[in-house]
Structure formats: C-alpha cells, structure tokens
Amino acid sequence: NHKSSELAMRVFERGSGETRSCGTGTVAAVAANLHRTGRVTGTSTVDVPGGKVEVTVDEHTSTLTGPAVLLASGHLDPAWWNDIES
C-alpha cells in the first residue's frame, strides 16, 4: 500500500541548532508516520525549511529524493586536519 501523504518537520541538531534539513530525520519521520497509521510501506512528501523531499519506505529499504544546494564554501588550513587527526 503506497498511499501518499505529506508531513512537515523542523530539524534541531545538538551543537548546531536549527538546520534546513536532515535526511535521516525525514526518513525516520515517514517511518514513524507509517507505523502510526498501521502501514509498513508508503511514500510521503516531507516539507522541511530547506525544501520538499520525497521519502519512500518499503519492506527492505528507504529512498530519499530531493534537492541538493550548496549553502557555503571555504578553505581549511591544512594544519587544522593535523590537529584533529592527533
């Protein structure tokens, strides 16, 4: 039963605060909603601050489809990597 539904969610990540999206969170929200409604499989659209994504859950896998947008870019000092590896 792949009945479609729509959910809305916000994401708060410890140490980062509110974020625009979370792939794991959107899949978990759909799985929880399916369980709540007595279903095992289905497809839902999840509206997060970063846009809408579509999640399909079946008996063995889940698939997340949505936009990927570059929000920032930058350069790290190579010494930074040395500090975190030691």
Q: Give the model confidence (pLDDT) of 29-51 as tens digits.
A: 999 999 999 999 999 999 999 99
The boundaries of the domain holding residue 23 are 4-85
State the total domains in the chain: 1
Q: What is the CATH number of the domain that holds 64?
A: 3.10.310.10
Is the pTM above the cut of 0.85? no
Q: What is the pLDDT of residue 71?
A: 84
Q: What is the pLDDT of residue 78?
A: 86
- Sites in the chain below the pLDDT cut of 50: 1-2
What DSSP string describes 30-64? HHHHHHHTT-S-EEEEEEETTEEEEEEE-SS-EEE
